[in-house]
Amino acid sequence: MKDQIDKIINEAEQFAITTIDQLESYKIRFLVKKGLVNQLFIDFKDLASEEKKILGKELNVLKSRVEELYNNAEVELRSAQSVNKKINPLPGYYSELGSRHPISAIIDEMTSIFERLGFSISTGPEIEDDWHNFSALNFPYNHPARDMQDTFFVDDEIALRTHTSSVQVRLMEEGNLPIRSIMPGRVYRNEAISARSNCFFHQVEGLYIDKGVSFSDLKQTLYNFVQEFFGTNTRVRFRASYFPFTEPSAEMDIYLGLDTESDYRLTKGTGWLEILGCGMVDPNVLENCKIDTSLYSGFAFGLGVDRMAMLKFGVKDLRTFFNGDKRFLEQFSSL
Ligand code: PHE
């Protein structure tokens, strides 16, 4: 038994304990009920009393030595762990994936509906000249119609575009007929900023020019869009309106109902919400762009994106889309 005691002390002293796992293995090998040390105590019971006297002491020395090695290693490992924690005071980097902005998601949804109807996508500059934003679109110089769109002028000739109709002019001037295209983009107007209006917003406008295009084509295209975007049971109505570049002109409303307080507020108590302006392109505009009006006619429409996004997502204050608050934007990360 003396030999065994020496062997175990030796082994315990050689045992490398540098991790918590190794500490656990050490405990299992030496210190648990079925471990090596306890086994010797069991064998000890069967020894002759003469031997017990000598080996009893040795056995106790063995036990306390093995325990001491265990305790020292444990203290060391635990303090190393807390040191590790201390020397790492910065929070770890955790990189977040960005996601699409809710306004972009709505623009994508709208454009994909029109793409399925055969429309292509066109874009143009946000800083625009007078001709493309106004004059070609039948807004005479110094005409009060220009006040309809509170314009940010850069100088007499240049302004931030007030609508993406400017892209329609550019497209018509290129002269590749027929044209069936939509123009998504940001536009600017000098309006007081509030929960419901901003000094910039987003539009998806559309233009269709071909031989024999009629108002019923316009209506059918917009019905189609509304059914895809808002659902097949959506009620719509057209109201006569005025735009310098279309004749006849209309605005289209969808029926929201009057179920909630916000329905009342949004629809001013009527249940109907205006979502777009539209009309047959005025022949003057076609002629300004050198399109033969004896052959071609067309329709145009312009949808406001931001209000649609407010409707779809139940957002009450337009400004929250653009103030860059991550807590707001993160709610749309699944789009
Ligand atoms: N350009 C108009 C606006 O911004 C919208 C519109 C487009 C109306 C096309 C009719 C036809 O208000």
What pLDDT is recorded for position 2?
85
Shared domain for 48 and 163, answered yes or no, is no
Q: What is the pLDDT of residues 163-177, one digit of tens each?
A: 999 999 999 999 999
Ligand 1 pocket mutation pick from 163, 183, 282 by most atoms within 8 angstroms of CB:
163
Q: How far is CA 112 from CA 119, 208, 225, in A?
A: 9, 17, 10
Instruction: Report residue 19 as tokens.
Output: 């991790």
Question: Which of residues 25, 50, 85 is at a domain's end?
Answer: 85
How many angstroms does the Cα of residue 121 sit away from the middle of ligand 1?
17
Residue 272, judged by CB atoms within 10 A of its CB (0-12, 13-18, 19+), counts as: buried
Q: Determine if residue 290 is left, alpha or beta; phi over 0 gives left, psi from -120 to 50 gives alpha, anything else beta.
A: left
Looking at the domain assignment, is residue 93 inside a domain? Answer: no
Residue predicted with more confidence, 120 or 196: 120
Residue 145 has pLDDT above 80, yes or no: no
Q: Give yes or no: residues 138 and 43 share one domain.
A: no
Place of tokens 């029926």: 255
Q: Are residues 174 and 268 both part of a single domain?
A: yes
Q: Are residues 68 and 199 in the same domain?
A: no
pLDDT, position 53: 85
Cβ-Cβ contacts under 8 Å for 207 (sequence gap 6 or more): 168, 171, 172, 179, 180, 181, 182, 183, 281, 298, 299, 300
For residue 246 and ligand 1, the question of a CB distance below 6 A is answered with yes
Distance (Å, rounded) from C-alpha 16 to C-alpha 29?
A: 13
* 196/198 Cα distance (integer angstroms): 7
For residue 71, CA distances in Å to 8, 19, 199 come to: 17, 14, 71
Nearest-10 Cα torsion for 187, 197, 111, 330: 110
> Which contiguous run of DSSP H or E holds residue 160?
strand 158-160
- Position 186 scores a pLDDT of 97
Q: What is the pLDDT of residue 147?
A: 66
For residues 138 and 2, give the distance between their C-alpha atoms in angstroms, rounded to a whole number: 112
Instruction: Return the percentage of the chain with pLDDT > 70, whole number.
Output: 96
Cα–Cα dist 105/279, whole Å: 27
Whether residue 130 sits in one domain with residue 260: yes
Whether residue 279 has its Cβ less than 6 Å from ligand 1: yes
pLDDT tens by residue, 257-272: 999 988 888 889 999 9
Mean pLDDT of the chain: 92
Centre of ligand 1 from the C-alpha of residue 329, in Å: 29
Percent of the chain with pLDDT over 90: 72
Over 80: is that where the pLDDT of 308 sits? yes
Task: Find out whether the beta carbon of 298 lies less than 6 Å from any atom of ligand 1.
Answer: no
- Residue 246 inside a domain? The answer is yes
Q: Based on the domain organization, do 116 and 240 belong to the same domain?
A: yes
Ligand 1 nearest-atom number relative to CA 148: 12
Atom of ligand 1 nearest to the CA of 281: 11
User: Taking a C-beta distance cutoff of 8 angstroms, is the pair 206, 163 a contact?
Assistant: no
90 lies in some domain: no
pLDDT at 144: 72
Q: Tell me, using a 6 A CB cutoff, whether residue 222 lines ligand 1.
A: no
> Are 5 and 62 spatial neighbours (Cβ–Cβ below 8 Å)?
yes
pLDDT of residue 156: 84
Asked, for residue 94, whether it belongs to a domain, the answer is no
Of 59, 85, 111, the one marking the end of a domain is 85
Whether 88 has a pLDDT exceeding 80, the answer reads: no
Check pocket membership of 278 for ligand 1, CB cut-off 6 A: yes
CATH of the domain at 237: 3.30.930.10
Domain assignment of residue 173, given as a range:
102-332
Residue 157's SS3 state is coil
Residue 244: is its pLDDT beyond 90? yes
pLDDT at 95: 76
Tell whether the model's pLDDT for residue 83 goes beyond 80: no
Query: What average pLDDT does range 289-300 have in this prediction?
Result: 97
Residues 52 and 198 in one domain: no
pLDDT at site 28: 95
pLDDT at residue 148 above 70? no
DSSP state of 245: T
Together in a domain, 38 and 130? no
Residues 112 and 204 in one domain: yes
Q: Which amino acid type is present at position 318?
A: L
Same-domain pairing of 227 and 115: yes
Phi, psi (deg, nearest 5) at residue 321: -65, -25
Cα–Cα–Cα angle for 112, 188, 166, nearest 5°?
A: 65
Q: Do 172 and 203 belong to one domain?
A: yes
Q: Which residues sit opposite 239 in a β-bridge?
A: 251
CA–CA separation, 141 vs 116, rounded Å?
38
pLDDT digits (tens, 9 = 90+) for 53-81: 888 889 999 999 999 999 999 998 888 77
Could you tell me if the CB of 302 is within 6 A of ligand 1? yes
Same domain for 194 and 234, yes or no, is: yes
